[in-house]
Amino acid sequence: MTKHYLPYILLLIMLLWHAVLFAQERFPRPEFESGYVYPEYQQPLQRSQAWEYIDVGVLIAALSVTSWLALKKRSRQGIIWMSVFSLAYFGFYREGCICSVGSVQNVALALFNDGYAIPLTTLLFFLIPLVFALLFGRVFCAGVCPLGAIQELTGFKPVKLPRAVESVMAAIPFIYLALAVLFASMKSQFIICRYDPYVGIFRLDATYTMIIFGVLLLLAGIFINRPYCRYLCPYGVLLNIFSRFAGKHLTITPAECTNCRLCEEDACPYDAILPSNVDQVPVEPVKSRKRFIAYFLLIPVFAAAGGLILFNMAPALAGIHREVRLAKEIRMEKETGIEAVSETAVAFKESGQTEDDLFANEIDIISRFRKASPWAGIFLGLSLGISLVAMTTRKTRTEYKPHQGKCYSCGRCFRYCPVEVNNKSI
Amino acid sequence: MMKLTEKEISILKSISQIAGVFTVIVALTMIFSFIQLKSIDPLDNPALLELKEQYDKDPDNVNKAEQIRAMDLMARKAYYATRRQIETGSYLLLAGAIVFIICQRLITGNEKVLPSVPGDIPDLALKQKRGRQLLMISASVITVGAILSSFLLRSNLPDIRTAKTVKVEKSAAKDNTGYSLADNEKTVIAAEEFSPDATNYPFFRGQDSRGIAGGAGYPTEWDGETGLNIKWKLQVPANGKSSPVIWGDKLFVTGANGTHGELYCIDKNTGTILWTASASEIPGEPSVLPEMDAEAGLAVSSAAVNSNSVCAIFANGNLICLDHYGNKKWALNVGTLENVYGYSSSLLIHENTLILQHDSNERLSIMGFDTGTGQMIWETARRGHPVWSSPVIATFNSKTQVVINGNPAVTAFDPVDGKELWSVDCLSGDVAPSLAVNGTMIYAVTDYQKLAAIKPGAGASVVWEDNTYTSDVSSPVANNHILVIATGYGDVACYNPQEGDTLWTHYFMEQFYASPVIADNKVYLLDRAGTTHIVKAADTFELISVSPLGEPADCTPAFSDKKIYIRGKNNLYCISQD
């Protein structure tokens, strides 16, 4: 009985790590006159490089164990254990950083800026889960990602969303990924980290709006399981693509599927089970072929349209850059006479930098956005086109199997399969 | 998942409910405390501020100081008490949440799996069709939203096509005024707001001790051995490491033989010594020389000159002040200047106040003397350890200030009354290079430490820092476009002064002790072998010429009226193309 409690006891112990977090809040210095000398280090020293590699080692180990639990052992309980471990280690102990989800931005920044050398460990955090996805499916989401783990542990009462809502929401991660890469490569913002809803909970240190956002997502996640993974996670887009080509993937049934359809309705809250279609005869094959060709030819049209729309949006998107916002504020001050009082504006005025320099820099940033934004639009157009083409093809399936792109390898479906139930009873 | 009885599940449900309610209550309390915390600034208490104001008017009032301390402590205690409440609350919140989650998971795990009885087999073709429709509708909605937002959010942003035209016109205008050179957009001007005098080079590193020379047309090629462009050459009667300073047609340099220091006034056009002033036998002069570097000697500090006075200090503490004709106005000993390597700070004159950076093991201060009478006008103590840098004059927001690169702080003082204006902890160790100053920032460096860019003023802070290139003796020089550092191992690095990016670096084989000087859009870099490397003052490296002196040199050159004056190990050279 004790072993069932152990994951939770472990989680509780790791949560107590928070004692150190409160030391970091800034506080005005006292005006000492007693000759008190401030300590040389007033901020925590950087973590040793060795620990970075230990993190990579833990990541590989956790991915390996989760793959074994999901594909070989087929243990939902084991995957929950891994979630608890990952939440404790990568979430509360490592405070959600570095994480593979955010590493997308480091990679984008490094790809498009010569001045930034990406740390090897960051690159490994980006690549290793993708390699595992290519080998075994989205095992990273199943039990290693701390963001996924915290949602997995709080998803008690899963309900399915209407298909229409699901379709609209599923587009968001693609947009989020395109924007995150664009903003990171333009040296503007790391929006994935900035708007990470759970990192504030891991650190107990974030703006209240972000903590409230995280808590609301967790509350919503009780019913709409893994809301961040499904409707926001940009890294999930890449994992989704890589996982489709996975050499081995979790299966619903441990043996031959009997097509009993018991997993069809409730087994997967993520709608990631593809039903058998062996009994359904293809209708109007000629029409289907024509539709396929039409959608296929539309792919470059969608890509071009996406590029054009994002090109048009570039100046608005450039507004996320600090200097563009500052220039806007200073221009407002000049035009309306209302004093710019933001901290950035005050710092700018004190720095002695000229307005001409600021406005010239603003133009330069907008120009760079003009060049880069269409690529983000092309990516979105291509994603839409390819998705539509995928919906015109028909693959014959003789059994119920997970959708390799959408399946989080969480193992919820295991216990719905009577084949496994029978095996257990034997 | 372990099996639980109905009764156990019922108990778990009750616990879960209690934990849920508890968590919500704690969360609400925390939100209240957080708002309270955000609204409190412990040092913004009106009573405390008023007391501080009163204290500023009456700084000798000990009772007021005590009252302020007590109130300050009380305000901080209250602040921390609220923070402790939040800290405790967060643990309670986590504990409540964990209990809730554990109970819920156990309850969920024990619920029997009752798969829904599937209805008719879904028509997958129809499902695909609906999927396509929904995807198209979603894409359309998003596209419309994107197009609308692209127009709505664009307001008050410049049209970049118009802006580009304006930019081009602007740079063309610059070309017409000669503000920037047409052949190379990257060429920068030595100093825009700072316009040093073309004739007077009154302190170590020139006007305001900034390392920027006024005027133009300085020679770029010479050879001390062949005599190419050497107008005159003079053996200075006594050795010294002090750099020449100039006022009008007179050049001043110091030297010392053993314990005897002298100031020489030389005609800058002919190289004739006009007069020599002794700086010995001054009351208070120590009988035993203070500890110093064997190579340095007594005459390391450069003299300072203005329209009516020339002042010089020596490492034994003897300070003399004369008029331009060699008549002694006053002389005094400022006390033993004992430090590890020997005293080396040069003098400054602001209006009629002689500014002395006093660095000894016993006393760290900055002093102001009346150049007319030798009367000390003010003295302000400095904290930290002795350094070997010299003060510089900087002007920010129309406020003239004397700034010292100290250990540990870079500190600015008011030259009128000596009051400390601002200070920022920056360096430690042996600090010898003086500061570089441009229109917006101050740059401090020392070897084995770092180069730091400091935003001056109240709340001064380090804006960026780098430790790739640091100098041990040579001082950096900066204008608004470049920051140049010549290191003790032969590397010269040029930085973007605003951002700290390295613009270029070059290895010159020889060490640099003399400080680089920017003159006429060129940087003059004199190495210890006596060779001057002249490079373009630009953000790309371009070597213009290399000119040897023919003897080693550690002193910083002086620039005046198209002539360059370099003090070598033995001789003083005047270099001119005329």
CB atoms within 10 A of CB A339: 11
pLDDT tens by residue, A306-355: 999 999 899 889 989 999 989 988 888 887 777 788 888 888 887 777 88
Strands (E), A252-335: 273-274
- Residue A199 to residues B43, B142, B563, Cα–Cα distance (Å): 31, 28, 64
Distance CA A95, CA A4 (A): 26
Q: How far is B31 from chain A (nearest CA, A)?
A: 8
Query: Per residue in A123-136, pLDDT tens?
Result: 999 999 999 999 99
Name the residue in chain A with its Cα closest to that of B30. A208
Q: Of A164, A331, A356, which is closest to B156 when you measure between CB atoms?
A: A331
Calpha distance B564→B575 (Å, rounded): 5
Q: Residue B354's pLDDT is what?
A: 95
Q: Testing the interface with B: which of A21, A26, A27 to mutate, by most B Cβ within 10 A?
A: A27
Q: Which residue of A has its CA nearest to B438?
A: A352
Interaxial angle between packed helices A76-86 and A146-154, expressed in degrees from 0 to 180 and rounded to the nearest 10:
120
Query: Which residues in chain B have their CB less than 8 angstroms from residue A12's CB?
Result: 95, 98
pLDDT at B399: 87
Q: In the structure encoding, which two tokens stand for residue B99, read together? A: 């209990």
Let me know: does A206 contact A200? Beta carbons within 8 Å. yes
Q: Do A167 and B134 touch (CB under 8 A)?
A: yes
DSSP structure string for B307-343: SS-EEEE-TTSEEEEE-TTS-EEEEEE------SS--
Q: Cβ–Cβ of B158/A359 closer than 8 Å?
A: yes
Please choose, from the candidates B432, B434, B441, B439, the residue with its C-alpha nearest in 3D space to the C-alpha of residue B465: B441
CB nearest A313 (choices: B87, B107, B146): B146
Q: Do B135 and A387 lie within an 8 Å CB cutoff?
A: yes
What is the b/e burial string over A226-252, where b = at least 16 CB atoms within 10 angstroms of the residue's CB? bbbbbbbbbbbbbbbebbbebeebbbb
- A313 inside 8 A of chain B by CB: yes
Q: Residue A16: is its pLDDT beyond 50?
A: no
Q: Which residue of A has its CA nearest to B463?
A: A351
Is B465 in contact with B452 (CB distance < 8 Å)? yes
Alpha helices for A244-284 (secondary structure H): none
* Helix A355-390, helix B160-177: angle, nearest 10: 150
Structure confidence at residue A425 (pLDDT): 42
Contact check, Cβ <8 Å, A391/B135: yes
Q: Which residues are bridge partners to B233 per DSSP?
A: B573
Which of the residues in chain B have pLDDT under 70?
1-2, 37-38, 40-43, 113, 115, 117, 154-193, 293-294
Backbone angles phi, psi at B281, to 5 degrees: 55, 45
A 99-118 residues with CB < 8 A to B? 115
Query: Which of A264, A305, A316 minimises the CB distance to B154?
Result: A316
- Residue B213's pLDDT is 95
Contact at CB, B125 and A366, closer than 8 angstroms: no
Contact map slice: A 264-303 vs B, CB within 8 A: 264-267, 275, 277, 279-280, 282-283
ipTM: 0.72
A-proximal residues of B, 23-52, CB under 8 Å: 27, 31, 34, 41-43
Please name the residues in contact with B7: beta carbons below 8 A apart, sequence gap of 6 or more.
none
More confident residue, A15 or B556: B556
Residue to mutate among B30, B101, B148, B442, with most A CBs inside 10 A, is: B101
B495 touches A: beta carbon within 8 Å: no
Name the closest residue on chain A to residue B32, using Cα atoms.
Answer: A208
Distances (CA, A) of A175 to A257, B311, B431: 37, 70, 53
What was the pLDDT predicted at A261?
Answer: 87
Instruction: Say what the pLDDT of residue A220 is.
Output: 86
The rounded mean pLDDT for chain A is 84
Q: Does A336 touch chain B (CB under 8 A)?
A: no
Quote the pTM value.
Answer: 0.56
Query: Nearest by CB to A363, which of B87, B167, B498?
Result: B167
Instruction: Enter the tokens of residue A355.
Output: 């307005």
pLDDT at B185: 36
Q: Which residues in chain A are closer than 8 Å to B130, comparing Cβ atoms?
A: 163
**Per-residue pLDDT, A38:** 66
**Under an 8 A CB cutoff, do A18 and B425 touch?**
no
User: Is the CB of A18 less than 8 angstroms away from the CB of B101?
Assistant: no
Report the distance separating Cα B402 and Cα B567, nearest Å.
Answer: 27
H or E stretch at A241: helix A234-243
Q: How near does any CA of chain B get to the CA of A318, in Å? A: 9
Query: For A30, which of B72, B147, B154 is closest by C-beta distance?
Result: B72
A415 touches B: beta carbon within 8 Å: yes
For residue A320 the two structure tokens come to: 């996320």
- pLDDT recorded at residue B192: 44
**Distance of residue B452 Cα from the nearest chain A Cα, in angstroms:** 15
Among candidates A265, A305, A363 on the partner chain, residue whose Cβ is nearest the Cβ of B160:
A363
* A265 with B34: Cβ contact below 8 A: no
Domain positions in chain B: 6-110, 207-575
Burial class (CB in 10 A: 0-12, 13-18, 19+), A343: exposed
Interface check for B440 against chain A (CB to CB < 8 A): the answer is: yes
Q: Would you give the DSSP letter of residue B44?
A: G
Distance CA B19, CA B12 (A): 10
Residue B444: phi and psi, rounded to 5, are -115, 140
Is the pLDDT at A28 greater than 70, yes or no? no
Q: Which of A64-68, A222-226, B153-157, B179-183 is least confident?
A: B179-183
Answer whether residue A383 shows pLDDT above 80: yes
The per-residue pLDDT for B165 is: 44
> Whose structure tokens read 């956005």?
A369
Token duo for residue B112? 């029997």
Cβ-Cβ contacts under 8 Å, A167 against chain B: 131, 134-135, 137-138
Q: Which residue has the higher pLDDT, A216 or B293?
A: A216
Q: pLDDT tens digits for A229-256? A: 999 999 999 999 999 999 999 999 998 8
What's residue B17's pLDDT?
85
Q: In angstroms, what separates the C-alpha of A246 from chain B's closest C-alpha?
A: 23
Chain A residues inside the 8 Å CB shell of B167: 360, 363
**What is residue B116's three-state secondary structure?**
coil
CB contact under 8 A, B1 and A11: no
Question: What residue in B sits closest to A155 (Cα-Cα)?
Answer: B105
Please check whether residue B59 touches A, CB under 8 A: no
CB pairs under 8 A between A and B: 159
Give Cβ neighbours of residue B230 (< 8 Å, ≥ 6 apart). Answer: B222, B223, B224, B573, B574, B575
Alpha carbons B525 and B522: distance in angstroms, whole number: 10
Tell me which residues of chain A, numbers 163 to 182, contact chain B at a CB-CB cutoff of 8 Å: 163-164, 167-168, 171, 175
Is the model more confident about A25 or about A300?
A: A300
Per-position b or e across B195-232, b if 16+ CB within 10 A of its CB: ebebebbbbbbbbbbbbbbbbeebbbebebeeeebbbb
The CATH number of B207-575 is which of 3.40.50.2300, 3.30.9.10, 3.40.50.720, 2.130.10.10?
A: 2.130.10.10
Q: Nearest-CA residue of chain B relative to A414?
A: B113
The answer to whether the Cα torsion of A285, A286, A289, A290 is positive or negative is negative
Return the pLDDT at A41: 62
Instruction: Report the C-alpha gap between A227 and A224 in whole angstroms.
Output: 6
Question: How far is the C-alpha of A141 from the C-alpha of A308, rounded, in Å?
Answer: 34
What would the two tokens of residue B259 be?
């314990």
Q: Which of residues 401-430 of B touch A (CB under 8 A)?
A: 425
Q: From the list A309, A332, A416, which residue is nearest B147 (CB)?
A: A309
Q: Where are the domains of chain A?
A: 2-18+50-262+404-425, 285-390
Backbone angles phi, psi at B353, to 5 degrees: -110, 120
Q: Which residues contact B80 (CB under 8 A, 6 or more apart)?
A: none
Q: Does B102 touch chain A (CB under 8 A)?
A: yes
Q: What is the pLDDT of residue B514?
A: 96
Is B98 in contact with A15 (Cβ distance < 8 A)? yes
CB contact under 8 A, A156 and B104: yes
